């Protein structure tokens, strides 16, 4: 098992590891839309927030020699299901070959730091 955190991802705000590799499977902790360089939380623009979550996941994937197309499962947590369409519009372009992973989209009451979206995933080299 190896645990990783790239310098281009935000520092964890709780006791967890951003990514854990076990037997070739990478488990990615939920990423909220924090900008690594400034630790700023993106709020008020759900597309920009979703993009930042995906960029944070991408940095962890690249550190482990994986890419978005290696994601096999993604969970998207949102505080407002009315944002579902906008989240999809921001999420889809990260998959250049349109090889989308299995996915769940879940509305929650609240997220860490009052974020509006959080995305976690599981990746395996395909």
- Please give the Cα distance from 10 to 57 (Å, whole number): 11
pLDDT in tens, 82-91: 999 999 999 9
Order of all β-strands in the sheet with 19-22: 2-4, 19-22, 25-31, 117-124, 71-78, 102-107
For residue 8, what pLDDT band results from cuts at 50, 70 and 90? low
Give the domain CATH number at 103.
Answer: 3.30.1330.40
Range of the domain at 103: 2-124
| pLDDT confidence of residue 7 | 47
Number of domains in the chain: 1
Percent of the chain with pLDDT over 90: 85
Tell me the pLDDT tens digit for each residue of 30-80.
Answer: 999 999 999 999 999 999 999 999 999 999 999 999 999 999 999 999 999
Percentage, residues of the chain above pLDDT 70? 90
């Amino acid at each position: 098992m190896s645990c990783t955190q790239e310098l281009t991802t935000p520092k964890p705000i709780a006791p967890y590891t951003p990514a854990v590799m076990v037997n070739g499977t990478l488990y990615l902790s939920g990423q909220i839309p924090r900008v690594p360089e400034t630790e700023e939380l993106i709020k008020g623009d759900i597309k920009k927030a979703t993009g930042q979550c995906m960029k944070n996941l991408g940095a962890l994937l690249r550190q482990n020699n994986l890419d978005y197309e290696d994601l096999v499962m993604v969970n998207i947590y949102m505080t407002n299901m009315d944002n579902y369409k906008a989240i999809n519009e921001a999420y889809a372009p990260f998959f250049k070959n349109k090889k989308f992973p299995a996915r769940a989209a879940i509305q929650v009451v609240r997220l860490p730091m009052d974020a509006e979206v959080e995305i976690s995933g599981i990746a395996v080299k395909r």
